[in-house]
Amino acid sequence: MAKVILEVRDLVKHFPVEGSRVVVQAVNGVSFTLAAGETLAIVGESGSGKTTIGRCVLGLVPPTSGSIWFRGHDMGPRWNVRSRALRGKMQLVFQEPGESLDPRMPIGRSIAEPLGLTGLSRTARDQRVLQVIQRVNLPVDILDHYPTELSAGQQQRVAIARAIVTEPELLILDEPTSALDPTARAEIIDLLMGIQRDLGTAYLFISHDLSAVHQVSHRIIVMYLGRILEQGPARAVFRTPRHPYSVGLLSSVLLPSPGLRRETSFVLEGEIPSPINLPPGCPLVSRCPFRIDRCAKEFPPEADVAAQHVVHCFRHEDVAAREHATDTFEEFQRRAEQILSVNPGVARAVLAGNVMTPHSPKPEGVQNGIQHQTE
């Protein structure tokens, strides 16, 4: 078993509301581990606390309570990402590549900047920059360009090159594909998977793009309003979700193939509670069709439903009885891979989630497997 390099214990992060005594409860008692060479995805709606967790791990915002351990050391005030032994070992790829790069700095200087505190000679730094720019499949002459001269996909490749130039052990990817078109999105996913195979980097993959998560992740955490509701191997969570929120989240995904959709026997209705005034029990209690009186009073303890698959729900067995296992995402990927053998360009877009597969019935306005607008 791979060595655990990151451990988060009972992480809490509250943000005070200026001019009042109340706080926004962004993260509430989150715990997980991440092994070397593993991809752990954190999914959930906006406001679930995904990005806050990543920023706490990096030390960009201090936790309210709890602890974060990296390579067996407590990431406290005395040992953090600015410590000499840790410089460059933890890196972040931002959601908006255009905003994360300095528009006044040439690409070459931008990629080399993280190497400034590593002690490498100028020659060694230049050589490292050349290696990573080729690793992310960009031409060497792009080093003299500026970010505004590049496409969004090229900007994200530069951001990834900048992140891996220090050879980090942990890479935090905060919505790394959300700003990209379907083809660029698929190419970036392929690139990230290749880097992980070659370098053994651990990924904390923060995303709401479940199609991308299905492709890249080994394990998944499902979050809602700062709480972990379900956690387990990627295939198990996608195939047999055991929390009502997980089922609702997966059922809401519209795959670009009319014949493929996770069918569910219930829906989540009602308003999302305010993170300032969360219910004392399960945060989903106001929207959950399985709720009982106990749900409003206490947060459900962790329950094992399968090997390494846990859920926080008092009625997870009732959910399992009504929701049958389905391989919808796997079937979608299989169909896309069939296209890959014929037309790689179209297949990349299919896997990214914006093109119809020709193996499904074509609704009005669809020709040759690609959806067109109708009048």
With beta carbons less than 8 A apart as the criterion, state whether 92 and 81 touch: no
Q: Check pLDDT > 50 for residue 372.
A: no
| CA gap 77, 313 in Å, rounded | 36
Among 150-164, 254-268, 355-369, the range scoring the smallest mean pLDDT is: 355-369
| CA gap 221, 313 in Å, rounded | 14
Tell me the pTM: 0.85
Between the alpha carbon of residue 161 and those of residues 60, 77, 121, 266, 339, the distances in Å are: 21, 29, 19, 44, 30
Q: What is the pLDDT of residues 173-224, one digit of tens each?
A: 999 888 788 788 888 888 999 999 999 999 999 998 888 898 899 999 999 9
- What residue ranges of the chain are covered by domains with CATH 3.40.50.300? 4-217
Please tell us whether the domain made up of 4-217 is placed in CATH 3.40.50.300.
Answer: yes
Q: Packing angle between helix 182-199 and helix 152-164, nearest 10 degrees?
A: 20
Q: What is the pLDDT of residues 311-324, one digit of tens each?
A: 999 999 999 988 87
